[in-house]
Amino acid sequence: MANRTVVVTGAGGFIGGHLVSRLLQTGSAEVRAVDIKPFSQWHQIFDDAENLRLDCSRLDHCKTATRGAWHVYNLAADMGGMGFITSNRALCMLSVLINTHMLKASLDDRVERYFYSSSACVYAAGKQSDANVTALREEDAYPAMPEDGYGWEKLFSERMCRHFQEDFGLVSSVARFHNVYGPHGTWNGGREKAPAAICRKVIQAKLSGNQTIEIWGDGAQTRSFMYIDDCVHGIDLIFNSDVEEPLNLGSHELVSINHLVDIVEEIAGVRLPRMYNLNAPQGVRGRNSDNTLIKKYFCWEPSTPLAVGLENTYAWIYDQMVSGRDSKD
């Protein structure tokens, strides 16, 4: 078993780096880490892994990635926070090439199990129009009306996994991530998500003495946010199960963006006047994860309190900023 190779695409990214770290800690297989970015831009890189710089939108590069592989975790995608995905719909859609080619290469190389990282952006927009949103069940992805661009690509790629399993026998697992955050994530540059962006803005205000913070939208929009350790544990549970349907992987702790700012301000020991940018990208009005199925299958759900995860995230971003380090996309 120790000679078998597990492939992680998107390994230079936030979630991928944490997943590689976890797989290396288990020691159950060799780990091949794959990403398109130069190694200097990987969020985390590990000498114990086989690190390859490949473009997984190309079939020939996917074949290099899957050569001799036992398991594949496909986390590669061109994505970011709401500001990025609303301004780069075509780029997000082009990620369909990654999953299509990774599936084909995995099938050709007789990979035993395949994991695809989907997103809560697959859910129908009409079910997310109220800040007091009813938590989204897996079945709420249909009738389909996902986030334009990014959400459509994720939903289409989920179907590709399903049909490769039905038609060709490639065993596949799909998790729908809900707003993952934590240390080693992107925190500036335009691809960062709300928790990291709020941490950065509060730290900037504290360090600069400019005691104001800009919030996108009116702050009443709601989300749930999942800490990275819960995400990686959930991936492990889903991947090593017989569950064939896509599953929500997210916290059920629903908060408004205003409350998210409250928590970060408490961590920082400040209170900042708020400027609301109503013209900024806001996404859906409310989104939360219904965890009925994941609890049914595993007697588990993501449970790290937001305040705890944010404290760790804030401390890490603060260290990056005072050390003059830049964020990695």
| Exposure of 306 in the CB half-sphere (CA atoms within 13 A) | 24
Query: Strand, helix or coil at 184?
Result: coil
Say if residue 196 is exposed, middle or buried (CB neighbours under 10 Å; 0-12, 13-18, 19+).
buried
Task: Respond yes or no: is residue 142 known to be catalytic.
Answer: no
Choice among 150, 181, 314, 318 that is catalytic: 150
Query: Strand, helix or coil at 176?
Result: strand
Q: How far apart are the first and last CA of the chain?
A: 34
The position carrying tokens 């770290």 is 21
Say if residue 8 is exposed, middle or buried (CB neighbours under 10 Å; 0-12, 13-18, 19+).
buried
Interatomic CA distance for residues 131 and 221, integer angstroms: 5
Interatomic CA distance for residues 146 and 61, integer angstroms: 29
| Catalytic residue list | 150
